[in-house]
Amino acid sequence: MRGRSALSGPALRMGGLVLALVLLCVVGIVTTGGRFASVGNITTLLALAATTGVVSIGMTFVITAGGIDLSVGSVLGLATVWASTLSTQYLAEDYGWWVIVLTALAVGLAAGLVNGALVAYGKVPAFMATLAMLAAARGLAELIAGRQTQLVEVDPFLDTFRADVLGLPMIVWIFVVVAVAGWFLLNRTTFGRRTVAVGGNPEAARLAGIKIKRHTLYLYGLAGLTAGIGAVMALARTTAGSSTNGTLLELDVIAAVVVGGTLLAGGRGTITGTVLGVLIFSTLTNVFILNNIDSSVQAITKGVIIVGAVLLQQWFAAREKATST
């Protein structure tokens, strides 16, 4: 697709991520033997990765375009609460489980569009606009839920999303579908091209005739939508809506995207990298839990990995620049 030096860069980066993942698995197998490599454990690992994964796909677009969305965790929480209120569940009993799904998606999308409108048309810095949404969405979720956990009792919903398909949980398949769709959207469509252009050089994109404000609105809408999808998955997995759902999720998501190789400054994004980033963090958590290692140690390790990945990224970038001079 691209020139020699540009091709070897991404290939090398992907190789490094795969290597890291394989190493983690080897550590898992060596330290816990059959417990890590069992079908049950891998299924659990993937199911845990799926929610973060879906939201990370949306975040990949926002970050590729040079933005950031800090509100995805709160918006996911709000969507789980809204989609599991008694009235929503009554409606779902009457009309079908899709009412819950539609509510969650609508809440996510709406919150995302508010973010997008503030950033694109209100010219509020993305960091501040989505930080405000982070606080507001969490607050609204608490108000609606009254700080209670709302159990989901719509059986058709649970049956559909807790089912296993071809040996894997439904929510893992959702992650697979969203990731594949995200890859095509970023790499094969005009939407993806605009995203990269806006992130790479917004002024050049604008002067070339790209409607960057409208596109920015769509991007945050997309991130909100993936938070809505994530909410459906969280509802299915935990069978409950709660205002605490998705707390600090934004940190895991941003970490996975950046470790995957998407530039925080914008202009380059990789869905494959994001998926690998999500898997690396989930596997890490899993291996630590299996070894009964304190969660604080786990947090420290995460921090080290993030810093290491960013350092590597910069090393790659410097090397590429040197080759192209």
- Contacts to another protein by CB under 8 A: 1-3, 5-6, 188-193, 196-197, 200-201, 203-211, 267-268, 321-325
Specify the residue, 296 or 324, whose C-beta has the smaller distance to another protein.
Answer: 324
Task: Compute the least distance from the CB of residue 321 to another protein, in Å.
Answer: 8
Task: Compute the least distance from the CB of residue 44 to another protein, in Å.
Answer: 37
Distances (CA, A) of 127 to 39, 239, 249, 313: 41, 32, 16, 22
Specify the residue, 268 or 302, whose C-beta has the smaller distance to another protein.
Answer: 268
Specify the residue, 192 or 246, whose C-beta has the smaller distance to another protein.
Answer: 192
Specify the residue, 207 or 248, whose C-beta has the smaller distance to another protein.
Answer: 207
Specify the residue, 10 or 96, whose C-beta has the smaller distance to another protein.
Answer: 10
Task: Compute the least distance from the CB of residue 262 to another protein, in Å.
Answer: 13
Burial bucket for residue 30 (CB in 10 Å: 0-12, 13-18, 19+): exposed
DSSP-derived 3-state class of residue 150: strand
Task: Compute the least distance from the CB of residue 99 to another protein, in Å.
Answer: 30
Q: How far apart are CA 135 and CA 123, in angstroms?
A: 19
Burial bucket for residue 93 (CB in 10 Å: 0-12, 13-18, 19+): middle
Q: How far apart are CA 222 and CA 229, in angstroms?
A: 10
Please list, residue by residue across 160-195, b when 16 or more beta carbons sit within 10 angstroms of its beta carbon and e when fewer do: ebeeeeeebbbbbbbbbebbeebbebbeeeeebebb
Specify the residue, 96 or 267, whose C-beta has the smaller distance to another protein.
Answer: 267
Task: Compute the least distance from the CB of residue 261 to another protein, in Å.
Answer: 13
Say what angle helices 4-32 and 271-290 make with each other, to 10 degrees: 20
Task: Compute the least distance from the CB of residue 314 to another protein, in Å.
Answer: 14
Task: Compute the least distance from the CB of residue 177 to another protein, in Å.
Answer: 18
Q: Is the CB of residue 146 less than 8 Å from the CB of residue 85?
A: no
Specify the residue, 35 or 321, whose C-beta has the smaller distance to another protein.
Answer: 321
**Comparing C-alpha atoms, which of 15, 19, 33, 153 is closest to residue 85?**
153
Phi then psi for 169, rounded to 5 degrees? -60, 150
Task: Compute the least distance from the CB of residue 228 to another protein, in Å.
Answer: 22
Specify the residue, 66 or 241, whose C-beta has the smaller distance to another protein.
Answer: 66
DSSP 10-53: HHHHHHHHHHHHHHHHHHHHHHHTHHHHSHHHHHHHHHHHHHHH
Q: How far apart are CA 170 and CA 160, in angstroms?
A: 8
Q: Which residues contact 267 (CB under 8 A, 6 or more apart)?
A: 64, 66, 196, 199, 200, 201
